[in-house]
């Protein structure tokens, strides 16, 4: 009996091309992170449920993949990389050092409602500096965001920055701190539901005058100096928070990065645990896709697991969203076919010559395939076409004797006859440079 090869709703196979693009993107990001001294870590996919859920929140409880293992332990699959990182820091703080800078790129699982187009298995890509609360660390995360996004080919984006503490100071100054968590969550929806709806919701949380003051706070404009002056004045004058924000924007200015950053007091991030700066990243040509990289400063990472205070600042790249954006913007890291050349199988007795030639070209850095069985040339061409391989090599009897080959550009259908291995290498690499120049 045949079993239908079905997969679970909300889960996906990753086919060669998309998996290659994803792995290359992850590698590029990773190499950027490393130039800043961030190191990789990993944690188990499965942990004790009480460790992952901590005090628990209703939302996470419902979505988590939780079960009893064969030893009757209550276990769960990780639903993010933040909680495992907190547990990791508490467990290893004495083997590590502070400040500690890590990145973690791995899959997480959530039983989300797939009707919203959400997936139940997806990648997270987090990077954080923990063990220090400093302006330089805040700035470094922002700088690394700019650097990483630029490195993968994006150039039109805005990192919108605000400060949770400044907002709280403002609320306190205006005597409306009571519903602050709810107010923050409401303000966070501004870009999704618009000003009118936010105002309506705010009015259910506080009085109309306060709602209007909140709206004027979060709509302070985009010119840093003007906006910053208003925000400071609306929150009762300079504070620790305003000072930190001013320093950070000073650094942005001094490094000539003004075009990529913006003060935006409507950015609050929904989560309770942020205490300092918060940020989101919007693609200029694709704002509708939402933030592709967000985060902020939190001052108690691991308080569930240790009495030691571990402050931190970090961000998370939404890899699936970023991949979707790169595809839509046609600025993917994909550089066409993965293979440079295919050696066609013409004669069953010549396979060692085919493999030997392939090895010689691989030793020069090319990606080379040998078609593994003598089939009709038409079928071999079809295979090359499917894999978008640009060049094909024919090693015939005459050519074996003279150690020369016939090579064909399979796309432009140009033939090169009686060429040597070195010639083949030169033609292929110059073609590759030409192709990359065009893109």
The Cα–Cα gap between 274 and 162 comes to 11
| Of the candidate residues 185, 355, 431, 432, the single one contacting a copy of itself (CB under 8 A) | 355
Comparison of 95 and 437: residue with beta carbon closer to a copy of itself? 95
Identify the residue whose tokens are 């890509």.
125
Q: How far is the CB of 139 from a copy of itself (least distance, A)?
A: 7
- 367 CB-side CA count, 13 A: 10
The Cα–Cα gap between 291 and 185 comes to 16
Comparison of 215 and 324: residue with beta carbon closer to a copy of itself? 324
Nearest C-alpha neighbor of 214 from the set 261, 263, 177, 160: 177
344 is an interface residue for a copy of itself by CB under 8 A: no
Comparison of 41 and 152: residue with beta carbon closer to a copy of itself? 41
Instruction: Say if residues 263 and 224 touch (Cβ distance below 8 Å).
Output: yes
Task: Name, in order, each residue with C-beta under 8 angstroms of 39's C-beta and a sequence gap of 6 or more.
Answer: 101, 102, 103
382 is an interface residue for a copy of itself by CB under 8 A: yes
Residue list 269-308, contact with a copy of itself (CB under 8 A): 302, 304-307
Residue list 180-219, contact with a copy of itself (CB under 8 A): none
The Cα–Cα gap between 94 and 287 comes to 43
Identify the residue whose tokens are 């276990």.
75
Q: Please provide the distance, in angstroms rounded to a whole number, between the alpha carbons at the two ends of the chain.
A: 49
Kind of pairing, strands 405-409 and 414-419? antiparallel
| Of the candidate residues 79, 81, 109, 316, the single one contacting a copy of itself (CB under 8 A) | 109
Comparison of 99 and 165: residue with beta carbon closer to a copy of itself? 99
| Of the candidate residues 216, 233, 335, 359, the single one contacting a copy of itself (CB under 8 A) | 359
Q: How far is the CB of 333 from a copy of itself (least distance, A)?
A: 14
334 is an interface residue for a copy of itself by CB under 8 A: no
Q: How far is the CB of 288 from a copy of itself (least distance, A)?
A: 28
Q: How far is the CB of 226 from a copy of itself (least distance, A)?
A: 22
44 is an interface residue for a copy of itself by CB under 8 A: yes
- 28 CB-side CA count, 13 A: 20
Comparison of 41 and 205: residue with beta carbon closer to a copy of itself? 41
Comparison of 45 and 205: residue with beta carbon closer to a copy of itself? 45
Identify the residue whose tokens are 């999704």.
192
Q: How many residues bind a copy of itself (CB under 8 A)?
A: 107
Residue list 47-76, contact with a copy of itself (CB under 8 A): 47-48, 50-51, 54, 62, 65, 67-71, 73, 75
The Cα–Cα gap between 124 and 319 comes to 6
Torsion of CA 214, 220, 224, 226, to 10 degrees: -110
Comparison of 73 and 418: residue with beta carbon closer to a copy of itself? 73
Residue list 388-417, contact with a copy of itself (CB under 8 A): 389
327 is an interface residue for a copy of itself by CB under 8 A: no
Comparison of 42 and 200: residue with beta carbon closer to a copy of itself? 42
Binding pattern for the stretch 86-105 against a copy of itself, x by CB under 8 A and - elsewhere: -xx-xxx--xxx-x-xx---
| Of the candidate residues 94, 196, 288, 352, the single one contacting a copy of itself (CB under 8 A) | 352
Preceding omega of 17 cis (within 30 degrees of 0) = no
| Of the candidate residues 28, 60, 147, 299, the single one contacting a copy of itself (CB under 8 A) | 147
Residue list 236-275, contact with a copy of itself (CB under 8 A): 250-251, 254-255
326 is an interface residue for a copy of itself by CB under 8 A: no
118 is an interface residue for a copy of itself by CB under 8 A: no
Task: Name, in order, each residue with C-beta under 8 angstroms of 112's C-beta and a sequence gap of 6 or more.
Answer: 10, 63, 118, 119, 120
DSSP codes, 319-357: HHHHHHHHHHTT--S--S-S-SEEE----GGGHHHHHHH
43 is an interface residue for a copy of itself by CB under 8 A: yes
Give the full edge-to-edge strand order of the sheet including 368-370: 368-370, 341-343, 391-394, 405-409, 414-419
- The window from 220-228, 264-272, 334-342, 395-403 that contacts a copy of itself (CB under 8 A) reads 334-342
Comparison of 62 and 222: residue with beta carbon closer to a copy of itself? 62
The Cα–Cα gap between 415 and 5 comes to 43
């Amino acid at each position: 009996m045949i079993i239908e090869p079905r997969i679970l709703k909300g889960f996906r196979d990753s086919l060669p091309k998309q998996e290659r693009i994803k792995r290359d993107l992850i590698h590029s990001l990773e190499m950027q992170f490393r130039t800043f001294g961030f190191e990789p870590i990993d944690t188990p996919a499965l942990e004790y449920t009480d460790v992952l859920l901590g005090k628990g929140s209703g939302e996470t409880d419902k979505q988590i993949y939780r079960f009893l293992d064969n030893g009757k332990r209550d276990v769960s699959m990780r639903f993010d990389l933040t909680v495992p990182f907190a547990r990791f820091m508490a467990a290893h703080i004495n083997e590590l050092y502070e400040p500690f800078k890590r990145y973690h790129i791995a899959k997480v699982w959530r039983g989300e409602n797939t009707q919203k187009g959400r997936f139940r298995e997806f990648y997270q890509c987090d990077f954080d500096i923990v063990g220090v609360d400093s302006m330089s660390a805040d700035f470094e995360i922002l700088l690394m965001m700019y650097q990483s996004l630029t490195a993968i080919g994006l150039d039109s984006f805005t990192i919108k920055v605000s400060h949770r503490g400044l907002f709280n100071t403002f609320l306190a100054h205006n005597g409306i701190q009571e519903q602050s968590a709810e107010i923050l969550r409401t303000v966070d929806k501004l870009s999704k539901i618009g000003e009118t709806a936010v105002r309506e919701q705010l009015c259910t949380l506080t009085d109309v005058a306060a709602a209007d003051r909140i709206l004027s706070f979060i709509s302070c404009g985009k010119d840093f100096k003007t906006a910053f002056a208003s925000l400071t004045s609306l929150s009762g004058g300079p504070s620790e928070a305003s000072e930190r924000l001013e320093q950070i924007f000073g650094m942005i200015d001094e490094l000539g990065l003004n075009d990529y950053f913006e003060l935006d007091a409507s950015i609050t991030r929904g989560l309770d645990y942020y205490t300092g700066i918060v940020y989101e990243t919007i693609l200029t040509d694709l704002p509708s896709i939402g933030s592709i990289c967000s985060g902020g400063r939190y001052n108690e990472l691991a308080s569930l697991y240790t009495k030691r205070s571990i402050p931190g600042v970090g961000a998370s790249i939404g890899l699936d969203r970023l991949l979707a954006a790169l595809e839509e913007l046609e600025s993917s890291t994909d550089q066409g076919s993965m293979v440079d050349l295919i050696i066609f199988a013409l004669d069953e007795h010549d396979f060692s010559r085919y493999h030997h030639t392939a090895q010689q070209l691989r030793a020069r850095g090319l990606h080379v395939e040998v078609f593994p069985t003598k089939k009709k040339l038409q079928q071999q061409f079809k295979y090359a076409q499917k894999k978008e391989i640009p060049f094909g090599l024919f090693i015939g009897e005459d050519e074996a004797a003279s150690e020369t080959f016939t090579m064909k550009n399979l796309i432009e259908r140009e033939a090169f006859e009686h060429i040597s291995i070195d010639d083949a290498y030169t033609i292929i690499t110059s073609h590759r440079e030409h192709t990359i120049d065009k893109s």
